[in-house]
Amino acid sequence: MVGQRKKDDITGSHEERFLKAFEEYSDALFRHAFLRISDRERAIDVVHDTFTKVWTYVRNGHEIDQFRPFLYKVLNNLIIDEYRKAKEASLDALMAIEGIDEGTFDELSESTVESLAATLDGKKAFELLEEMPDTYKEVIILKFVDGLGPKEIAALLEESENVVSVRIHRGLKVLRQMIGQKEKEAAAKVGKK
Amino acid sequence: MKRFSQQFKKKSETIRLRASERSDLRDRLTSYMEYHPLPAERKASKSISTAGIMSESSKRIAISMTYVRGFAGAFAVFMIVAVPVVAERSVPGDMLYAVKTNITEEVRASLTLSPYAKVEWETKRLERRVAEARLLATEGKLTPEVEAEVAQAVQEHTDAAQEGIASMREIDEDEAALAEITFASAMEVQSDVLAGTMAKEPDSVDSVERGQSIAVLAEIVNVVRDHASVAQADSKPSYPKLLANVESQTTRVYELFESVKQQAGAEEILNIERRLEDIGRKVATAMDLHANAPEAMVEVEPVIEKVLIEAIPAEEEVLAEVVPEADTEEGSEATATTTIENESEALVEEDVDAVVVEEVIVLTDEERAAYTIALLREALTGVQKLIIFMTDIDVRENVTIDELLPVTFTEQERTEVILTQLDVVLLIQADIERVVMTDAVREQVVLGSDVLTAELETLTQMLADGNLAQAEESVATATVVAHDLRKLTADLPRMVDTEEESEELEEVPDIEESEEAVGDVE
């Protein structure tokens, strides 16, 4: 899962390397964007913008050793911009809720994340992803869809690893709640019938 | 966990770009890259393979490559066409001068394949160097360094031309001979042009320096010219080749003349027409001679060549010697005695001359052949000079056509000139007879008059025989003697009507001119 962290091939011209990165990461980036934005067209645009921004960065004389983290970083910033454009208030609100919370010991432990995850139905959780607040969605996608490690996610989001771990933990909890709620609703429906 | 992650991941992988979306995105991106290409220095040493880009959006790349090619093409055109074109106008000291001499001209030199063309081109280059030097000199920019450079270049081009001629001689002697004639006539023109430029310079201190600087160059060119004309005289082109060359060049002259006619003044047209007639006459004479002695033309044998070399230049030499001597005498304050002494010397020379001329006139087949060739050679030189005169504006500005290619007089004209001169001499003679002589000059005058009378007798004889060259000689000598006599007796009173007579004499300034013309004829 996390094994793709190999260094990008640094042979070849800048154009070649850049296009290779596109072949390699465009799908993953699109998936990430689509899951976060839930709009196919806009997700494609965001991925496009990500690559053009990176290209501009290369043109300006910067060397990029590893494209993946860099691409994710740019993509993430663009997605946040998207949110700002779309629902500024709600994002601010979300940001406000987060932040100072340092999290409990439980939430910081990797093993509890795993045990928590083990109790969840992956398929159902995935379907509910869309309804999650973006703060959690972001980390969940980064971890479980994009396969990034806590360290990478932390670097990407410019948060501490702790914050990332807590967020993942809480995200999973939220997912579990949501799944529970769905099941209740479903049961209630069946009951009514 | 594993199950969750796997399920989650599996589910997420159902989300991917469709093939169309993907290629579309790729196209957008590559076109973005094309319009925002890397700056040149970012391209680094790694070769750029466009294959990857080409695969899915070949169309756009193709457009871009067209741009690239177009740009590269434009640049190449600039380097290959524009720079040399601009460089063509450069003179020593200009930035592009090196491009002109070391690249453009060398390229042209390497493109000329035939040795003949090579010699022609080297000659042209030599002419260009001289023209540049003159241009710089007239602008007062000819420094000693530049001049040394030009001199060296002149030497180099001469060597190259000679080398070309030498290598040609191994293959085709006739061609080599023609090339030699061409080179020699070009050098004559250059030397005339330089002389013309020097003569034009006004007498300020500055321009004296300039004049001197060209003088050095002129000297070099003169040396080259002398070498060339000697070499040219030694070469023996065959009649058919020479005639063919003369004819093709004449055709060119007529073409040029047609195109020049519109712009040229009436006088210029007359001048050129006159030269063309001269050349035509020479060719006709040569053809006549050739037709009358076909057997002599089969092969030019060594003996004949010897005759040619001896007979023709010898005649020229003697003529050349006699005429300038006569000129200096005329201008000097020499007494009649010295004149007479020189006169007798001249007479001795004339005897030699007479012998030589006789050889030419009593034509054996061999001599006829030699004379034919000499005539054609003269015609060719004339044609070439005319071509240069008509095509090179620079030459035209600095040299008159008379300096470059003096008129060749027909026998009739020559006779007329002689008769005019004779009239003048007779007038002077009549005038002198009326002089009231003092004892101081009597002896000299009597002696001079005797010489004059003898000379006039010879002259009459020669005219009767149709020996024009000799007659010209005689009339020239007679004129000189007559002038000296007049000078000697100028202060002495005349018996009757003296004033009028001498005034009348003053009004005949034609003498000097016609004399010069006579001197140049051969």
**In CATH, A10-97 is 1.10.3470:** no
Answer whether B8 sits within 8 Å of A125, measured CB to CB: yes
- The Cβ-side half-sphere exposure at B437, using a 13 Å CA radius, reads 16
* Residue B98 belongs to a domain: yes
CB atoms within 10 A of CB B517: 18
Confidence of residue B260 (pLDDT cuts 50, 70, 90): confident
Task: Tell me how many domains chain B contains.
Answer: 2
Contact with chain A for residue B18, Cβ under 8 A: no
Task: Report in angstroms the alpha-carbon separations of B138 from A39, B92, B133, B207, B507.
Answer: 82, 14, 9, 8, 38
CB atoms within 10 A of CB A149: 15
Q: Which of A49-63, A161-175, B86-100 has the lowest mean pLDDT?
A: B86-100
ipTM: 0.73
Strands (E) across chain A are located at none
C-alpha B162/C-alpha B115 separation (Å) is 11
For residues B445 and B336, the answer to whether their CB atoms sit within 8 Å is: yes
The domain of B485 spans 412-521
Angle value at C-alpha B310, between B307 and B315, nearest 5 degrees: 120
Q: Mutating which of B17, B24, B47, B68 best tests the A interface, going by the most A Cβ atoms within 10 A?
A: B17
The tokens describing B393, both together, are 């504006």
**DSSP code of residue A143:** I
Judged by DSSP in three states, B435 sits in strand
CA-nearest residue to A40 within chain B is: B17
The confidence score (pLDDT) of residue B353 equals 45
Report phi then psi at B353, rounded to 5. -55, -45
End-of-domain residue from the set B191, B206, B235: B235
pTM of the model: 0.41
* Residue B471 belongs to a domain: yes
Judged by DSSP in three states, B495 sits in coil
**Minimal Cβ distance to B42: which of A40, A61, A145:** A61
Strands (E) across B23-137 are located at none
Contact with chain A for residue B40, Cβ under 8 A: no
Q: What is the pLDDT of residues B338-392, one digit of tens each?
A: 444 444 444 444 444 444 444 444 456 677 777 788 888 888 888 888 888 777 7
* Residue B377 belongs to a domain: no
C-alpha B162/C-alpha A79 separation (Å) is 82
- Ranges in chain A annotated CATH 1.10.10.10: 101-193
Q: Which of A2-6, A146-150, B254-258 has the lowest mean pLDDT?
A: A2-6
CB atoms within 10 A of CB B260: 16
End-of-domain residue from the set B201, B235, B269: B235
* Residue B299 belongs to a domain: no
Q: Stretch A40-52: mean pLDDT, rounded? A: 91
- Residue range A101-193 forms a domain whose CATH class is mainly alpha
Q: Mutating which of B6, B15, B45 best tests the A interface, going by the most A Cβ atoms within 10 A?
A: B15
Q: Stretch B145-163: mean pLDDT, rounded? A: 82
C-alpha A125/C-alpha B165 separation (Å) is 98
Contacts of residue A44 in chain B, CB cutoff 8 Å?
Answer: 17, 21, 24-25
C-alpha A162/C-alpha A106 separation (Å) is 11
* Residue B41 belongs to a domain: no
Question: Residue B212: left (phi > 0), alpha (psi -120 to 50), or beta?
Answer: alpha
* Residue B363 belongs to a domain: no
- Ranges in chain A annotated CATH 1.10.1740: 10-97
Closest CA of chain B from A117, distance in Å: 5
* Residue B313 belongs to a domain: no
* Residue B430 belongs to a domain: yes
Contact with chain A for residue B32, Cβ under 8 A: yes
Residue-by-residue DSSP string for B255-291? HHHHHHHTTS-HHHHHHHHHHHHHHHHHHHHHHHHHH
For residues B290 and B240, the answer to whether their CB atoms sit within 8 Å is: no
* Residues pairing with B435 in the sheet: B494
Burial of B89: CB neighbours in 10 Å, binned 0-12, 13-18, 19+: exposed
Q: Stretch B458-463: mean pLDDT, rounded? A: 80
Q: Stretch A142-162: mean pLDDT, rounded? A: 86
End-of-domain residue from the set B235, B269, B299: B235
Amino acid found at B267: E
Confidence of residue A50 (pLDDT cuts 50, 70, 90): very high
Confidence of residue B52 (pLDDT cuts 50, 70, 90): very low
